[in-house]
Structure 1
Amino acid sequence: MIKTAITPAKGGLPSRRLISDVIYASGAYQALLKSRVPKRLVLAPVDILPGDGERADNIFQGHFEFGGFSLERDDQEPWHVEGMPLAWHKELHEFAWLRDFVANGSEAAKRHARALIASWVTEFGIFRPYVWDEDVLSRRLIAWFCHSPFLLEAEESDFNYEFLRSLRRQYIHLSRLAKSKTKDPDRVSTWQALLYGALAFPDMSKQCAKILASLETELGRVVLADGCHISRNPERHLTLLGELIGIRNTLMSANEMVPVAINNTIDRLAPAIRFFQHGDGSLALFNGGLRLPDGLCDNILALSDATGRPPQRFPQGGFERLKAGRALLILESGEGGRDAQIQRDAGLLSFEFSYGRERLIVNCGAVRDPDSAWGKALAATAAYSTLGFDNINAVFPPREPSGENPEHVTRNEDEGNIWLDLESNGYSDSVGVLHRRRLYLDASGQALRGEDQIIPERMPPSGRSHFSLRFHLHPDLSISRSASGKNILIRTPSGTGWKFLTAAPRLALEESVYCSMPGERRHNQQIVINGQLIDQEPILIKWALTRLSD
C-alpha cells in the first residue's frame, strides 16, 4: 500500500474557486435546496456488491485506505487530513465503504457509521468543491440510499432528521446538475442516484419515468453497438454491469417495469466482460482499468443472468481477442476511432497474453489518480506492450462523425490457427512512420509469432528516430537470458517454460513496473527491442514466444 501522497492536498482538499463553486456556495443558492424533510424512505435500493467487515474494523481503528493510499489517524475522523491526493479524498466522500459496515452488522458498526455521517453533515452539509461535484455526489447518494435501513434508527431521532435533510438537499442539487452540460463522459451514476431518490422519497415517484428515459439515452451513448464502453476500460464494463443489475433488481423490488434498454445493455455488457477476462478470472489492464477482488468478476456475471459468449472482436470498441487452446491474447486495435476528450491512454496496438491462469505479457496497469505523475506515466505508450518512439505517445485515430472509420484490421482463421494483420497511423504526424503488426497464434496456443514493420513516410524529425518494441512481463515470472544471450527464457509459477526469440540485434531486459490493483507497485521486467531509423527504408522485426516442452 502506498503510504505517501502523489499529489499533496494541503489542509485536506485542494483549493478550487470556479464561478460555479462561488454560485453553489452562496446563501441564495443554498436556500434553493431547502425542501420538506421526509420522515422516512419508502424503499431501499439494492446494493449487489459485497462488503468487507474487516475493513470496517480497520476504519473504526483509524486506518483509512482509499484510492490505493493508506492513512493512520487517531481521532477516527478523516475529513481534514493533509498530504493525501484528491483520489483518496474522493473515494472517502463517496461513502462506498458503508457496505463494509453493513457487512460487519454489529451495533457498534451502526453507531460508528452514524457518527461519521453526522460529522460529515456538520462539516460538508453545504456545498464544498469536489465533495459536491457530480461524480462524487451521485455515488454518495447511491450509498446513502442503499444503506439507509442500516443507518436509520427505528424511532424518530435527531440523526434521522439530519440524515434525511442532508440526503434531500444533496438530491436536489444533483437534479439541478443533471440538467446542465458536463465534462463527465459517463453520467450513468447520476441517473442511477436520481432514480433511487425518486423511488425512495415518498413524494418523488412521478419523476421515475422521466429519469428512466434519461438513463436509457445515456446508456445508448456510453455503450457502443458492439457492447464496448466508450472508455474502453475493462473495469468500467464490470462496474457498469453491477450498477445496472442493482437498478434492475431495485425496480423489480419496487414492482416497477424494467426498461428493455436496461436488460439489453446487461445482455451486451456481460459478453464484453468475458471478452476481457484472462484465464485467472480477472480483467485485462487497458485504459485505466485495474483488477478487482478475486471472484468479483464471476460473481457479478452470475448475478447478471446473461449467458452470452465473448465475441472475437469489438469493431466499434477497437479490440481483438485471439483464443487457441489454453492461450488468450487481447489486443487494442484502435478500430472505430476514439474521442480525444475521452481517450487518455496511448496503448495503440498493445496486447496482453496469458496461458491458462498465468499471465505472461502484460500492460503496466494504472492508479486511481490519473492526473498524478504516476497516472500520466502509466497512460503513456511506453507502459504498454507495443511499439514506441522516444517517449512519444501514439495517437489513436479520431472517431469519425459518421461513425464509419476505415478498417485497418484483417483477421484470418484456418483449422484453429489465427492470423491478425493490423495497421496504425499513431506516429504518422509526430514521427512520420506507419506501424504494421502481424500476429500469428497456432491452434495449440503454444506458439505466438509476430512481425512488427516500421515504414517511414518521411525522415523523422531530429531526436525522434529511436524506437523501442516493448513486451512487459508479469512480475510472478522468472526471467533469464539464454547462454548465447540471444533469447529470453521465462518460467511461470507452475513451472511451465517459455522462450522469447528474435533475430533483432539489440535485445534487452529492462526494469518495469506493474500496478494492477490500487496501491500496488510491483517491480517486474520488460523485453525491449531497440533500434533507430537511419533512412526511409522499412524495418521489419520478427519475434516469437513459444512454450517449451515439459
Structure 2
Amino acid sequence: MSISGYNIRNSIAVGRSKISFSTKSFVYQPDPYTIGSSQRGAQLKNGLFLFVGHLIESPDTSIWDINIPNSKFEKELHGFCWLDDLAADGSKFARDLVKEWFWEWVDKYGNGSTWTPQLTGRRVVRIINHSQLILSKASAQQKKIFFKLLGQQTNFLFSRYKSETSNLKRLEALNGLIYCSGILRGKKYFLNSALRKMSREASRCIDANGNVKTRNPEELFNILAMLSWSASTALKVNKVALKKHQEVMEFLAINIRSLRIGNGGLAHFHGGGRGEIGYIDQILSGIVLPISKIKMNSTGYYRIFKNRTVLIMDVGEQFMKSNSNFSASSFELSTGYEELIVNSGPGALFGDEWNNISQTLHAHSGVCVANVSPSNRRTKLIPKAEYTSDLNAEIILSSHGGYTETHGVIHNRKIRMSSDGCVISGLDTICSESAHQRDIFDKWIKSKNENSMPFSAQFHIAPDVEIKWNNDNTKIILETLKGVIWVFEVLNGEISIQDSAFMQFGELSPRAAKQVVVSGTAIDYQGNIEWKLTKH
C-alpha cells in the first residue's frame, strides 16, 4: 500500500472512530507502567528537545511550536514518551507542562490528523498512565473530552492495527488497544479479540530462539514490556493472556536476564541502550522464572558471572550491511554494580554521524584489523563459539571471518575468567588458515607496501572510571567511583591510552571517555596479542 493510501485509510478510520458509544471513566485507577528519565525531564523543562539525534534548543516554547527537523522527530513527539520524562522529573513546573502540552495536542491534533496505529498505541498508554496528572484540576468539560478522545483512539486502533507494516508496529498498536479495552468503561468487548491477536503478533516478532532480527537487547526488552503490560491489564479485569502469550514472556524474560550487566542495565550491542534499570526490575519481577545460572542464551551472547564480575560477549549472527552493527567477539565487563569495559553505545541518539560511528567494530571492545571495520560484502556472518570450564576458570573461545575476504585473516579470541572473578585474561590472534586466505593476505601486504599486517584490540573504558598509568608506565590502573581497582597489563603487544566516547540515553551529547588499545602485527600469516585484567 502506498503512503498516501495508508494515510487516507487512517483518516477514514478516524472518522468512523467517532461514531460509537463514548467512554466516560476508568474501570480501575491506572498504575503507571512506564518509567521515564528525570534527566530528560529536566532538559525538556529547559527547552532542550533531543529526539532521534536532533537537538532543538528553544526555551519557553511549547513542544508543539518548535521547528520540526524531519518526520521521524515529529513521530517521537506524537508517541508521547516525553510524558514519562516530565512525570519522572516531578516538579511543579514539569507537572504544569504535562497538562499544558497535552491540552495543546488535543486542540491541534485531537481531530486525528496525525494518527497512526503504532504511535496511537504508544500514546494512549502514556496518556492513561499519567491521567491523574493530566486531569488534576481539570474541568468537567475537559474530563469529558479526555475520555471521548481515548474512546476514539481505542476504536481507531481496533480498525487499523493490522495496517501497520511490521510485526513490532502491530504489537505496539495492539498493546495500546488491550490497555484501553481493559481500563476504559464500555470498551471491554475489544479485549478477547485483541488478546488473541497480541499472542499471534508476539510469536511473529521473535524467532524460535526468542530473538529479534536486529539482536538488539533493548528492543527485545521493549517487546517483553508490552507483553507484560497487556497480560497485567487482562488480569485486572479477570481475563488471562493466552498460553502462547505467557510462554513468549517467559522465554524473553530468561534471555533478558542473561543480557544484564552488574548494575542491572542491558548490554550495549546492536544499537541497544542500557534501558531504565528500575523499569527492567519491575517487568522481570512480575514473571516467575526457574532459578538457574545462564551462561549463554539463545540470542547469541555468552555470559560469565563470577563473584559479582560479569562479562557478556557477542558471538551471534552479524548482519554485514551498511545500516547494521558489527560487534563479533566484542564484550562488556562490569565489576559489582559498576561498569568497567563497555561498548560505545547507541549512536542513533545523537544523529547519523554518531550512529555510523557506533555501528563499527571500532566502537566496540573487540579487535580491528588494519584499522578498519569488516566490510559489508556479505549479508551476514555467523561466528563460531565454544564455552568450557573447570575448577579454576571459565573460558570462551570465539572466532569470526569478517576479514577473510578483505585481509585474508580470521580473528580468534580466547577469554578466561578465574573462578573468583578477579582475573580476566585474553589472547587475540589473527591468522590465515587456507591457501586462498594467504593469497589475500599477500595481496594486501603488497598493495600497502608493508611487511606485516597491523591489528589492535580496543577496550573502551566506562566514563566514570579513572584511568592512569602506573609508576613505570608499563601497566594501566583503572579505578571505579567506589574505589575498586583493576590493573590492565599486556603480555604481548603494545599498550596505549586513546580518546573514546560513550553514548547513553539522557545525555545531550556523547560523553568523553578513554580506551585502552593493545596493538600487534601479523607476520607470515599470523600475529597475536595477550592481555590481562587483575582486580586488586
TM-superposed CA distance for 1:381, in Å, is 1.3
Please tell me whether the aligned partners of residues 348 and 396 of structure 1 are also in contact (alpha carbons under 8 angstroms): no
Give the aligned partner of residue 123 of structure 1: 108
Give the aligned partner of residue 392 of structure 1: 373
TM-superposed CA distance for 1:85, in Å, is 7.2
Residues 545 and 153 (structure 1), Cα distance of their counterparts in 2 relative to 1, 3 Å cut:
closer
Residue from 189, 204, 213 that aligns with 2:172: 189
Residues 267-323 of structure 1: per-residue CA shift (max 9 Å, x gap): 333333331222223332222222345544334333434454452102x31100112
TM-superposed CA distance for 1:259, in Å, is 1.9
Greater mean alpha carbon deviation, residues 179-188 or residues 421-430: 179-188
Give the aligned partner of residue 325 of structure 1: 307
* In structure 2, C-alpha distance between the alignment counterparts of 1:32 and 1:453, rounded to whole Å: 64
Q: One-letter code of the match for 2:530?
A: K
Residue from 491, 503, 509 that aligns with 2:479: 491
Residues 431 and 212 (structure 1), Cα distance of their counterparts in 2 relative to 1, 3 Å cut:
farther
Residues 110 and 443 (structure 1), Cα distance of their counterparts in 2 relative to 1, 3 Å cut:
closer
* In structure 1, C-alpha distance between the alignment counterparts of 2:91 and 2:464, rounded to whole Å: 39
Give the aligned partner of residue 273 of structure 1: 256
SS of residue in 1 equivalent to 2:372: coil
Q: One-letter code of the match for 1:513?
A: A
* In structure 1, C-alpha distance between the alignment counterparts of 2:213 and 2:272, rounded to whole Å: 13
SS of residue in 2 equivalent to 1:241: helix
What does 1:411-490 correspond to in 2, within 5 Å?
411-456=387-432, 457=437, 458-459=440-441, 461=444, 462=447, 466-482=454-470, 484-490=472-478
* In structure 2, C-alpha distance between the alignment counterparts of 1:494 and 1:111, rounded to whole Å: 38
Residues 147-188 of structure 1: per-residue CA shift (max 9 Å, x gap): 446545899954345444544554455445432351565643
Give the aligned partner of residue 22 of structure 2: 38
Consecutive unaligned residues of structure 1, counting only runs of 5 or more, are 1-16, 400-404
What does 1:93-172 correspond to in 2, within 5 Å?
93-99=78-84, 113-126=98-111, 132-148=115-131, 151=134, 157-172=140-155
TM-superposed CA distance for 1:413, in Å, is 0.8
Q: One-letter code of the match for 1:40?
A: K
SS of residue in 2 equivalent to 1:178: helix
SS of residue in 1 equivalent to 2:504: coil
Q: One-letter code of the match for 2:311?
A: L
Matched, 1:241 2:224: yes
* In structure 2, C-alpha distance between the alignment counterparts of 1:490 and 1:470, rounded to whole Å: 15
Q: How many equivalent residue pairs?
A: 519
Give the aligned partner of residue 500 of structure 2: 512
* In structure 2, C-alpha distance between the alignment counterparts of 1:81 and 1:270, rounded to whole Å: 39
TM-superposed CA distance for 1:118, in Å, is 2.7
Residues 368-407 of structure 1: per-residue CA shift (max 9 Å, x gap): 54762112212221110001243334669867xxxxx987
Give the aligned partner of residue 11 of structure 1: none
Please tell me whether the aligned partners of residues 24 and 148 of structure 2 are also in contact (alpha carbons under 8 angstroms): no
Q: One-letter code of the match for 1:35?
A: I
Residues 42-79 of structure 1: per-residue CA shift (max 9 Å, x gap): 536553335689987986x6645554877665555211
Residue from 162, 166, 178 that aligns with 2:161: 178
Greater mean alpha carbon deviation, residues 512-521 or residues 481-490: 481-490
What does 1:298-377 correspond to in 2, within 5 Å?
298-306=281-289, 308-314=291-297, 316-334=298-316, 337=317, 344-367=324-347, 369=349, 372-377=352-357
Please tell me whether the aligned partners of residues 96 and 143 of structure 1 are also in contact (alpha carbons under 8 angstroms): yes
Residues 253 and 83 (structure 1), Cα distance of their counterparts in 2 relative to 1, 3 Å cut:
closer
CA RMSD of aligned residues (A): 3.9
Give the aligned partner of residue 290 of structure 1: 273
Residue identity over aligned pairs, in percent, reads 24
Matched, 1:524 2:524: no
SS of residue in 2 equivalent to 1:179: helix
Q: One-letter code of the match for 1:288?
A: G
Residues 114 and 517 (structure 1), Cα distance of their counterparts in 2 relative to 1, 3 Å cut:
closer
TM-superposed CA distance for 1:198, in Å, is 3.3
TM-superposed CA distance for 1:544, in Å, is 1.7
* In structure 2, C-alpha distance between the alignment counterparts of 1:74 and 1:190, rounded to whole Å: 33
Q: Which has the higher helix share?
A: 2
* In structure 2, C-alpha distance between the alignment counterparts of 1:322 and 1:259, rounded to whole Å: 34
TM-superposed CA distance for 1:419, in Å, is 1.5
* In structure 2, C-alpha distance between the alignment counterparts of 1:493 and 1:263, rounded to whole Å: 40
TM-score by structure 2 length?
Answer: 0.82
TM-superposed CA distance for 1:469, in Å, is 1.7
TM-superposed CA distance for 1:436, in Å, is 1.3
Consecutive unaligned residues of structure 2, counting only runs of 5 or more, are none
TM-score by structure 1 length?
Answer: 0.80
Q: One-letter code of the match for 1:522?
A: R
Greater mean alpha carbon deviation, residues 237-246 or residues 432-441: 237-246
Give the aligned partner of residue 82 of structure 1: 67
SS of residue in 1 equivalent to 2:395: strand
Residues 188 and 235 (structure 1), Cα distance of their counterparts in 2 relative to 1, 3 Å cut:
same
